[in-house]
Amino acid sequence: MSRATTVVLWSAGVLGAAAVTLVTTAQDRRADGSVNQQASLPQAKVELPPREFATAEEHYNFLLERAHGGTKHTMSTIPVWDGLWGSGNNTMPAIFLENGSLANALRPGGAVKEGVLTPAYEQHFRERRAEMEKYGQQRYDRLTNCEYAGVPRWIWEPYIKEFVNTPKQTWMMNDFMNETRRIYINGKHINTEATHFATGDSIGFWDNDKLIIWTKWVNPADYVRGMPLTSNKFEMVESWAERKDADGSRHLITQVTFYDPLGLVKPQSAVYTHDARPDLEEAGVRIRNWQCESSSNSYKDKDGNTQFYLPGDPEYKDPRGFTDFPDIPGQSLNPIFDGEESAQ
């Protein structure tokens, strides 16, 4: 699938399971790009924390002390994770579902594990999974309303990412929804706004070539569509490191532990993978700015379902768009100047 096709699909309001199957084509190694195929990709094993920790802060500080305050990299020594990266497999669904996998996270299948979530969050999760069994998918998702996916969903979103490491900050840029995480190296958590954020507030340090991150003050969201909710007490500790296979292919392995005293009975761990995609670079794929709020044609109907305005409907928005002055020549956002526009 071309990058242009991906943009048009989102403009129509990509939310259903079938849509996810289509969009992941640009990121997945396999030809059909289905979630089933993504779920069959190689996956690293979960590395549990060195011991149990009561909080993310305790976990992070333990790792920082063990790394003797962290490696002080310069621009000449810091790991370089250049190029485009696509989401691979992950083990998160197995935390919450019996025989859970990426293949059944977004669709029916798999029994809810008991005692992982607190009672209120487990009850909601059971209701969400029952809805999926009845309708074949979660009927409504926050993305319909152009809400950010947020953390920890950011780690899995099946769109391309770019990573820039500097001695003082790491920038993790997600094509989807313009979500850029900034990790402040050897920094402290700061919240002058006294609120929560879609991607939280992240600080980190380097342990040789491994980046350790602690994120907090995250908007309540969910682990991904079809999975449980997270609370406003959610925090997580991640480690990111590049791995190279014998054939030269590159992978970023993310070990993560989730802390959520309101949503989880105890902390839970998972592993995520991103794969380098030089083929997408060669094809000219680039990260562009999303314009969900001005071009999405999805909405929530009176029955709670995600619906879409289609071409011909008075509410339909041309995903290519116009400025506020459509009657003036040259105000279309369509880069293709066809005969009709040139004649204006």
Distance linking the first and last C-alpha atoms of the chain: 33
| Confidence class for position 85, pLDDT limits 50, 70, 90 | very high
Higher pLDDT, 123 or 18: 123
Q: Which residues pair with 241 in a beta bridge?
A: 253
* Stretch among 30-44, 60-74, 76-90, 182-196 having the lowest mean pLDDT: 30-44
pLDDT at 139: 87
Cα torsion 222, 157, 171, 198: sign: negative
Q: Cα separation of 248 and 226, whole Å?
A: 35
Whether the link from the prior residue into 220 is cis, omega within 30° of 0, is no
Greater confidence, 244 or 106?
A: 244
Cα distances (Å, whole numbers) of residue 118 to 113, 126, 231, 305: 11, 12, 11, 27
Q: Write the pLDDT tens digit of every residue in 137-160.
A: 888 888 887 888 888 899 988 889
Instruction: Please give the pLDDT value at position 198.
Output: 92
Quickly state the pLDDT bin for 31 (edges 50, 70, 90): very low
- Contact call for residues 228 and 263 (beta carbons, < 8 A): yes
**pLDDT at 13 > cutoff 70:** no
Q: What span, in angstroms and rounded, lies between the C-alpha atoms of 26 and 283?
A: 10
How much of the chain, in percent, has pLDDT values that exceed 70? 86
The per-residue pLDDT for 9 is 30
- Statement: residue 32 has pLDDT above 80: no
E strand spans, the chain: 85-90, 161-165, 169-174, 180-185, 201-207, 210-216, 235-244, 250-259, 268-276, 298-300, 306-308
Count of residues for the chain? 344
